[in-house]
Amino acid sequence: MTHLHSGKVRDIYTVDQPADPDAPAQLLMVASDRISAYDVVLEPTIPDKGEILTRMSLWWFDRIADIVPNHVISTDVPPQVAGRAVLCERLDMYPVECVVRGYLSGSGFADYQRTGLISGVRLPDGLVNGSELDEPIFTPATKAQYGYHDENITYEALEITVGKEDAAALRELSLAAYRRAEQIARERGVILADTKFEFGRRPDDEIVLADEVLTPDSSRFWPDEDWEPGGTRVSYDKQFVRDWLTSSDAGWDRVNALPPPGLPDEIVDKTRQRYIRVFEQLTGETF
């Protein structure tokens, strides 16, 4: 295996091509314990985070496999990364993030406050942070390079980027996967407020779900019992870290792009506990 790329959280390695010439090209995708927020990697790491993300993704891949195939080939990986890595297909990845929102929050709420729109989709007046939308909306975004910020784009811009046929397929698959996951989460007392999917294309042009899926890094999870539009919400995701970074306790000057402060032990531990809590509540497994 040869190191190919490291992102904010994952390390990717190429794998020697199998003897079978018809077998797909493979990658080893390793989920680290690194955590990022506001486009920077923070210190220190969150213990066990990589394993939680990998186990959650595998659990969700199984539950939406009838909607869209995924890139996982095997969990038979080198022992030093066991539990936090998968062997997966090497795909031609779409250069966009496919975001679905069932509730108004995050950058979507910020866009709504400024314009009443998210990715060109006009929403009703009078919504507040945390409002449930009448229907889930598809709001694609650019997939920015490390150190740069993803930007919401319109569906028309997506069509220009990937073509009309693929844009329609990405929207349909994203909304269908979100609806399935939202129902499963709600049955377990968790609100799936929003999430992002990443897709790639096989050599035969079949669209495949890739990267991670429906984890606390790529989604907003709220306890159902705690949800109230406009109120303060407990989050089972990395919004907890974002909130600390923007608090007076952190004292971080984001505007002037100063390096972020180190995460206190208490924030590290509470973040880990949130990730474990939502993993266990959704899957019914003990971490």
**200-247 pLDDT tens trace:** 999 999 999 999 999 999 999 999 997 889 877 889 999 999 999 999
Q: Provide the total of helices (H) and of strands (E) in the chain, helices listed first.
A: 6, 16
Q: How big is the CA angle at 90 (ends 137 and 162), to the nearest 5 degrees?
A: 40
pLDDT of residue 183: 98
pLDDT of residue 18: 64
Between the CA of residue 49 and those of 9, 45, 122, 223, 269, what are the distances in Å?
A: 10, 8, 36, 20, 11
The first and second tokens of residue 23, run together, are 């077998």
Q: How big is the CA angle at 44 (ends 43 and 49), to the nearest 5 degrees?
A: 115
**Secondary structure letter of residue 214 according to DSSP:** S
Domains of the chain as residue ranges with CATH:
2-89 (3.30.200.20), 92-242 (3.30.470.20)
User: From CA 183, how far away is CA 191, in angstroms rounded?
Assistant: 9
145 band by pLDDT with thresholds 50, 70 and 90 = low
pLDDT of residue 147: 47
